[in-house]
Amino acid sequence: MSETILSARDVRKTYLSGDRRLEVLRGVTLEVAAGESVAIRGESGSGKSTLLHLLAGLDTPEGGTVEWQGRAADAGRRGAFLGMVFQSFYLIPELDARQNVLMAARMLRAPGAGDRARADQLLARVGLAERAAHLPTQLSGGERQRVAVARALMNSPQLILADEPTGNLDERTGDAVIGLLLDLCRETATTLVLVTHNAAHAAKTQRQVFLRDGVLLPD
């Protein structure tokens, strides 16, 4: 049996909206095996991004637990354990593509020659070898997202969390980015949890779950 790399048990999250308490997550339970790809789907506003932030240790649940490899999620381990891809890219505008990829390594150490070589290798793998010295403003939306994918893989994480990574891309470019992300995760045996509203993209993962009324339902 494959190792459970990510586990959420009875996770709950509530937000205040004026004088009302909005219960976004009402007891979410999810287990993801090492090397698995899982899509989380749901209507807009269903709490998909909230759930992903909890899984990433970027926020704390009000109830329940999130574990990475059987241990409580710990922000101090995040940079080495997981990589993230966001809808809005979050590249540093003053840094070129290579330097943006290297930012992931800087979270853990002062980058050396081996890190620079890996950054160039990843940029080549995502088709941007000749764009490594270009600033984000000199890249298209699809190219910027491919830089973000390379950055997420920089530290050879065991888990990638992707939050609507094609939301700012046209259909053709989005299809290419999702295909690339899935291919890279398969090649490196990296676990992928993908939040998406796109049914076609979700169908390319090994398993789908649906967030509805604050709980996860299987496909």
Compute the average pLDDT of residues 185-207.
96
Determine whether domain 37-60+73-218 maps to CATH 3.40.50.300: yes
Per-position DSSP letters for 48-112, written without gaps between them: HHHHHHHHTTSS--SEEEEEETTEE--GGGHHHHEEEEETT----TTS-HHHHHHHHHHTTS---
pLDDT tens per residue across span 1-23: 579 999 999 999 998 878 888 89
Residues with Cβ within 8 Å of residue 76, at least 6 apart in sequence: none
Parse the chain into domains and list their residue ranges: 37-60+73-218
Compute the average pLDDT of residues 157-163.
97
pLDDT tens per residue across span 115-129: 999 999 999 999 999
What's residue 218's pLDDT? Answer: 78
* Type of residue found at 55: L
pLDDT tens per residue across span 29-75: 999 999 999 999 998 888 999 999 999 999 999 999 999 999 999 98
- Of the chain, the percentage scoring pLDDT greater than 90 comes to 89
What's residue 130's pLDDT? Answer: 97
